[in-house]
Structure 1
Amino acid sequence: MYTPVPAPHTESRPLPPYRALFAVDAKDFTGLSAVQHGPVSQLIPELVDQALERAGLHELRDSKRFPASTGDGVVFGFDPAMLPFVLWPFLGVLDDVLGSYNQQFVGPRIRLRASVHVGPLPDAGRPDDGNGTARNDTHRLLDSRPVKAILAAASEQVTHLAAVMSHRVYEDVVLGGYTGLHPDRCVEVPATVDGKNFSQRAWLYVPSPSGNLVQAGVRAREEPADRADAAPTEPGETSADRYGAGYSGNTQRVGEGAAVMGDVGRDVVYTGKSTSYQGTNQHWGSGDNVTGDKRTGESGDRR
């Protein structure tokens, strides 16, 4: 006998319990040799459990809800009360565990994308537990363009994990002050997935930034670049204010020029006025973020 499919908006029903969700998948998994797929699929949940152990989250490790393998990763639900500890310290510990593994073992590097979300999901000990919009959105966040782009652009020697969290998680847990992860370490991104009708506000956290973040002049404020030609700053003015780039966590401030995410082809000529960012976090869009005129054409494009 078929299970009847309920029609929405026809009657009121109890709301399923809220469950937090964590998912990871491996970068370039499909590029591995067929003989490596099985061992890597088995290795990823082992590394995640090792990180949970090291982060002191033994209870979470042993109480996962509706865990599942995705082939190139894992996904599981858990008590939302544990969200602050998953964001901090677990994500950073997972990055360290991956880095240690990649240094010690010969073979494919294991670099992961991670997503964290929360929402109502059925959890009653049935085969269909964990299925719902929140689960779908968790996987869409995992496949979204920003988190893929940042991991592809980052150094494989330094950056082993790129994590994206939903705005709901960011607002409730990070802005709420319940986690050790400071808001300045998060960057707002438009989470979109190629070929999918999905677009959400989300937040990126990279425990060990590298690659184009460093090449763009992003640096720790406590370690400013030495400037032999530096002129004295005005009272209350920092070197970041004067020279247009400062970094605190994943916060970037751009003075004069353009902040560019992803690959850029052809020439880029910037002719607008200087840009400035006054908020806590930089908001990345897709493409190049500029202030001033942006015109595209043939030779001599001005962007």
Structure 2
Amino acid sequence: MSASLPAPYAASRPLPPYRALFAVDAKDFTGLPAVQHGPVSRLIPELVDQALEKADLGDLRDAKRFPANTGDGVVFGFDPAFLSFVLWPFLHVLDGVLGAYNQQCVGPRIRLRASVHVGPLPDSGEPGDGNGTPRNDTHRLLDSRPVKAILAAASEQVTHLAVILSDRVHEDVVLGGYTGLHPDRCVEVPATVEGKNFAQRAWLYVPSPSGNLVRAGVPADHEPAQDAPPHEAPGGPGQAAAPQGPPQPRYSGNTQHVGEGAALMGDVGGDFTYTGRSTSYHGANQHWGGGDNVSGDKRVGGPGEQG
């Protein structure tokens, strides 16, 4: 007998527990020779776990909820108490682990897109755990135009990881001051996915920007001071060790208007095509990635539409 489906709005019921979500996807995985798919699919979770260990997050590594290998990446849930430490230092460490691997690898380079989100999801130890709108949105963010465009435009020698954070994570964790990731390292973008009914405000973070991103004033990560105390796991008396103060962004004063693409300064090598619906901004704007840090008025869409 099939289980009956709950009818929405028919009655009140307990909200599922909140779970944070982390997902990564490898750039150009489908373009690899078939013989390399299996080894790369196994390598990606190994690199993620290595970074968790190096970031002193072994407890998180051992406590993943509903983990899954997606073939060209991984996704797993975890206790939201770890979110602060995933944003910093884990993402910074993961970028370093990928860079170290890519320097010595003889096979394909591993360059990853990552997304971080949080929301209510079933987690009772039963089949179907982890499925819900937050899980869907995590994958949509991962596949969204801005994060794909940024990784495609950046140097494969320098930029190994591009991260997109949901607005909820950015507001609660970054703007809340609970993490060592400074708000100035995050840039607002409109996250959309071609062919999908999905559009959300999100935030890009690139630990090691290169080329046009550097010329556009995107600050790179810096190691914390050598004498800074290590971060403590959730529940400890201390706080996460913050990185050194972020360098002041350098902007050339150029204005670039984009829909959902990448507003970059200078030349972009290779094939880089981007289209999106019309977006216009008015005020003091900082343009980068798939969107804008906006101060002043904002108008999105065609005549008669306002956002």
Q: Aligned partners of 1:119 and 1:217: how far apart in 2? A: 32
SS at match of 1:118: strand
SS at match of 2:122: coil
Deviation at 1:284, TM superposition (A): 5.3
Query: Following superposition of structure 1 onto structure 2, how do residues 35-54 of structure 1 map, counting pairs within 5 Å?
Result: 35-54=35-54
Deviation at 1:261, TM superposition (A): 1.8
Check conservation: 1:256, 1:275, Cα contact below 8 A: no
1:131-189 CA distance string (max 9 Å, x none): 00000000000000000000000000000000001000000000000000000000000
Moved more, 255-264 or 31-40: 255-264
Deviation at 1:6, TM superposition (A): 1.2
Query: Following superposition of structure 1 onto structure 2, how do residues 213-224 of structure 1 map, counting pairs within 5 Å?
Result: 213-216=213-216
Q: Aligned partners of 2:179 and 2:198: how far apart in 1? A: 28
Per the alignment, residue 258 of structure 1 pairs with 256
Per the alignment, residue 172 of structure 2 pairs with 172
Whose Rg is larger? 1
Per the alignment, residue 101 of structure 1 pairs with 101
Per the alignment, residue 29 of structure 1 pairs with 29
Q: TM-score w.r.t. structure 1 length?
A: 0.77
Identify if the C-alpha distance between structure 1 residues 219 and 117 changes in structure 2 by more than 3 Å, giving closer, same or farther. Answer: closer
Per the alignment, residue 57 of structure 1 pairs with 57
- Contiguous gaps of at least 5 residues in structure 2: 223-245, 274-281, 295-307
Q: Which one-letter code corresponds to 2:194 in the other structure?
A: D
Q: Which one-letter code corresponds to 1:258 in the other structure?
A: Q
Q: Aligned partners of 2:109 and 2:42: how far apart in 1? A: 14
**Does 2:25 match 1:19?**
no
Q: TM-score w.r.t. structure 2 length?
A: 0.76
- Contiguous gaps of at least 5 residues in structure 1: 223-247, 266-273, 290-303
SS at match of 1:155: coil
Q: Aligned partners of 1:286 and 1:80: how far apart in 2? A: 27
Identity across aligned pairs (percent)?
75
* Alignment RMSD: 2.6
Q: Aligned partners of 2:114 and 2:43: how far apart in 1? A: 16
Identify if the C-alpha distance between structure 1 residues 25 and 286 changes in structure 2 by more than 3 Å, giving closer, same or farther. Answer: same
1:10-56 CA distance string (max 9 Å, x none): 11111000000000010000000000000000000000000000000
Per the alignment, residue 188 of structure 2 pairs with 188
1:65-113 CA distance string (max 9 Å, x none): 0000101000000000000000000000000000000011101000000
Check conservation: 1:164, 1:205, Cα contact below 8 A: yes
Per the alignment, residue 111 of structure 1 pairs with 111
Q: Which one-letter code corresponds to 1:42 in the other structure?
A: R
Deviation at 1:195, TM superposition (A): 0.3
Identify if the C-alpha distance between structure 1 residues 10 and 219 changes in structure 2 by more than 3 Å, giving closer, same or farther. Answer: closer
Q: Which one-letter code corresponds to 2:93 in the other structure?
A: V
Q: Aligned partners of 2:177 and 2:256: how far apart in 1? A: 32
Query: Following superposition of structure 1 onto structure 2, how do residues 237-252 of structure 1 map, counting pairs within 5 Å?
Result: 251=249
Q: Aligned partners of 1:166 and 1:214: how far apart in 2? A: 23
